């Protein structure tokens, strides 16, 4: 099983802190571990990394993740979930179709338009879909 470690930033107790995501996958599952100061905070297993990240955010709602994957307007297509196992997603704008140049890596840094919950992202995604049909 190949392992990648990604440094990210979070906001915890109103302070910006460094954290690490340990990213692993096998043929069937994706594994995401959050570590802060060498302490494992959470271990998540799911079908793709976006689902892992969403579950991580649900389990630790008091923590704000400064990542593209936490932005309100970032959501993976079914194809990106299959092809990249959810590591990439589209950064969407209402009224505009998603294009190749809108693809982002979900663990890249961003601190603008961060959603409170994965459910807020899902609502925005549904609104975006309605805006382009």
State pLDDT tens for residues 90-120.
999 999 999 999 999 999 999 999 998 999 9
Rounded to whole angstroms, how far apart are CA atoms 94 and 118?
Answer: 18
The number of CA neighbours under 13 Å toward the Cβ of 103 is: 12
Rounded to whole angstroms, how far apart are CA atoms 131 and 126?
Answer: 9
β-strand partners of 75: 90
Q: pLDDT-based confidence at 1, cuts 50/70/90? A: confident
- Other Cβ atoms less than 10 A from the Cβ of 122: the count is 13
Total-model pTM: 0.94
30-36 β-sheet, strand order:
39-46, 30-36, 15-25, 3-12, 64-65
Domain-wise residue ranges, the chain: 3-132
């Amino acid at each position: 099983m190949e392992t990648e470690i990604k440094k990210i930033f979070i906001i915890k107790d109103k302070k910006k802190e460094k954290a690490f995501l340990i990213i692993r996958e096998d043929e069937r599952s994706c594994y995401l571990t959050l570590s802060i100061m060498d302490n494992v905070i959470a271990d998540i297993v799911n079908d793709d990394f976006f689902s892992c990240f969403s579950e991580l955010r649900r389990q630790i709602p008091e923590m704000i993740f400064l990542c593209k994957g936490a932005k309100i307007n970032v959501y993976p297509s079914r194809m990106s979930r299959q092809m990249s196992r959810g590591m990439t997603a589209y950064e969407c704008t209402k009224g505009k179709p998603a294009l190749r140049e809108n693809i982002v890596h979900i663990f890249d840094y961003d601190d603008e338009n961060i959603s409170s919950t994965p459910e807020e992202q899902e609502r925005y995604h549904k609104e975006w879909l309605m805006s382009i049909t």
